[in-house]
Amino acid sequence: MNISTNSNKINKILLLTPAIVALCIALLPTLKYQLPLSWDVYYHIHMAKLYFYQGFTFWDAVTYAPFGRPIYYPPLFHVLLGLMGQIFNGDFFFGARVIQPILAFGVVFSFTYLAYRVYGLSVSFISGFLIIMSLTFHRFMLPIPESLALIFFSLSLCSYYLSLQNGGVKYGVTAGILAGMALLTHPSSALILIMVVSVYSLLLRLSENAGEDYNFTNFWYFISSALLMASLWWVPLLLNYGYIANFSTVITPLLDYPKVFGIISLIFALWGVYILIKRKEKGDLLVLIWLISVLALSQIYLLGINVLNDRILNFAVFPMVLTASVGINYFREKNRLVFNILTLFIIVSALLSGFLAVDNSNPYPSPSQMEVVRWFENNGDGTSVVMANDSALEPVILAFSGQPVAGGGYGVAKIKELDRQKYMNFRYSLEDLKKDRVGYLILNHNQESLPYSELVYQNQDYKIFRMENN
């Protein structure tokens, strides 16, 4: 009895170990820097503040000002940030920092738990450290919706896999609810999840012994519960505003794939794919479909479809790592010494890779940019539009000061925006300033005086001009 209890404790520790390592790694930049990681977080902090102070709404009047725009980004992550802000007395920035290690832990643990339920503890343990070695790991530490959605992704896929093993309705519904939460967090992640589940279910349906081994009723439970959950926000938004998304194409060169997936994962994934194809078990089919379908989706830009190829490849890292772990685990029975050496090498490499990710995870903005942000926090009028030659500054200014900005982040969902070239090339008139409500221009420090303006602040990099717009 004691042996069994101790064995269970050891198994739990091994299952948690990669996630705990991820948490410790993510703690380092969290404690080192006083600002949250990533530029994207400032748009999300703005949204959290919007909900926190104004209540639930579908309209954002202070981004892409003076026009505003519908809020096309789902609210679940922003609600989480809002709760963190409430817990920490309105300090949303500290709240964003707090969730960085929590998200890193959650992404790694949810993935290793999926690996554990499909392939067991050994593959799960290896997968956890291989995912830390991947280039994608640095994104797990970022306080952004994608990180939260990745947790829902793995847990939903795990629940759906379990629903097909024992036919339990609760697993199918749980998988759907988690997918719905992903749709309310990061739609791209959720759509990839639904694609993988749908293709997996279709191929199972077409298999020879489908009726004997699988309960496909759970697929409909999955879809219906996901759509029902997502409809709480998406239906009123679409009925009122429709949908706009203008994605550009970002392509990852083929030569960069080893950097994205990791050399070790790519090498052992080749052997792992052979094992999965030869074995043809239920979990093997899931992992193969997951890998192949996401890789295929990442290449649809070849058909002229705009797609963020680099972001989609991040979702292929997970099944690639699982496949590689299966390949490495093969040596556990065939040659234990080789297996132990490989495992030790992976652990050490993961730690080094994780610390390297920390070194490359510097927060935005720079000190001189932060001085500009603080000026608006203390001196901005709160109503006039700010336009910066460095548009990346605008969401930071908005997040700290609430000052309306000409951009504001998440540029794929905008209806109308000011003519930046007109203002950056000084072709504006006094009537333009009044009509567009432009009150401030932020330019480089070497810029001379502007028409209809007064220099109100400067530092080593920037000048702030207050414009005549009354």
372 shares its domain with 354? no
- Kindly provide the residue ranges of all beta strands, DSSP E only, lying in 86-167, ordered along the sequence: none
287 shares its domain with 351? yes
* Contacts of 119 by beta carbon, 8 Å cutoff, 6+ apart: 283, 322, 325, 326, 329
* Per-residue model confidence (pLDDT) at position 399: 95
Q: Which of 336, 359, 382 is the last residue of a domain?
A: 359
- List, for residues 35-63, the tens digit of each pLDDT value: 999 899 999 999 999 999 988 899 999 99
287 shares its domain with 391? no
Q: Which of 327, 359, 391 is the last residue of a domain?
A: 359
Q: Are 2 and 105 in contact (CB under 8 A)?
A: no
Residue 50 lies in a domain: no
268 shares its domain with 376? no
* Contacts of 52 by beta carbon, 8 Å cutoff, 6+ apart: 82, 85, 86, 92
Can you state the percent helix, strand and coil of the chain, rounding each to 5? 70, 5, 25
Report the number of distinct structural domains present in the chain: 2
149 shares its domain with 242? yes
Q: How many CB atoms lie within 10 A of CB 355?
A: 11
Q: Which of 359, 379, 406 is the last residue of a domain?
A: 359
Q: How far apart are CA 380 and CA 408, in angstroms?
A: 16
Residue 69: beta bridge partners?
A: 60
pTM of the model: 0.93
Structure tokens, 358: 């920390």
Q: Identify the domain containing residue 448 by its residue range.
A: 367-467
* Per-residue model confidence (pLDDT) at position 360: 79
- For tokens 């530490």, the residue is 141
Q: Are 111 and 154 in contact (CB under 8 A)?
A: yes
161 shares its domain with 187? yes
* Per-residue model confidence (pLDDT) at position 1: 41
304 shares its domain with 340? yes
16 shares its domain with 115? yes
Tell me the average confidence (pLDDT) per consecutive run of 10 residues in the chain, 470 residues long: 62 92 95 91 95 91 93 94 91 94 97 95 95 91 95 96 83 95 95 95 76 73 95 93 77 84 92 91 92 92 80 93 95 89 93 87 88 95 93 94 91 85 92 94 90 93 89
SS3 405: strand
Q: Are 176 and 157 in contact (CB under 8 A)?
A: no
Q: Are 172 and 277 in contact (CB under 8 A)?
A: no
DSSP assignment, residue 461? S
375 shares its domain with 430? yes
341 shares its domain with 387? no
- The DSSP-derived string for 161-217 is HHHHHH--HHHHHHHHHHHHHHHTT-HHHHHHHHHHHHHHHHHHHHSTTHHHH--TH
Q: How far apart are CA 182 and CA 232, in angstroms?
A: 13
Residue 466: beta bridge partners?
A: 440, 454
Q: Are 425 and 333 in contact (CB under 8 A)?
A: no
Residue 49 lies in a domain: no
Residue 54 lies in a domain: no
* Per-residue model confidence (pLDDT) at position 167: 66
Q: How far apart are CA 386 and CA 371, in angstroms?
A: 15
407 shares its domain with 284? no
Residue 46 lies in a domain: no
Q: How many CB atoms lie within 10 A of CB 340?
A: 12
353 shares its domain with 371? no
* Contacts of 421 by beta carbon, 8 Å cutoff, 6+ apart: 427
* Per-residue model confidence (pLDDT) at position 211: 53
Residue 67 lies in a domain: no
Residue 52 lies in a domain: no
Residue 325 lies in a domain: yes
Residue 123 lies in a domain: yes
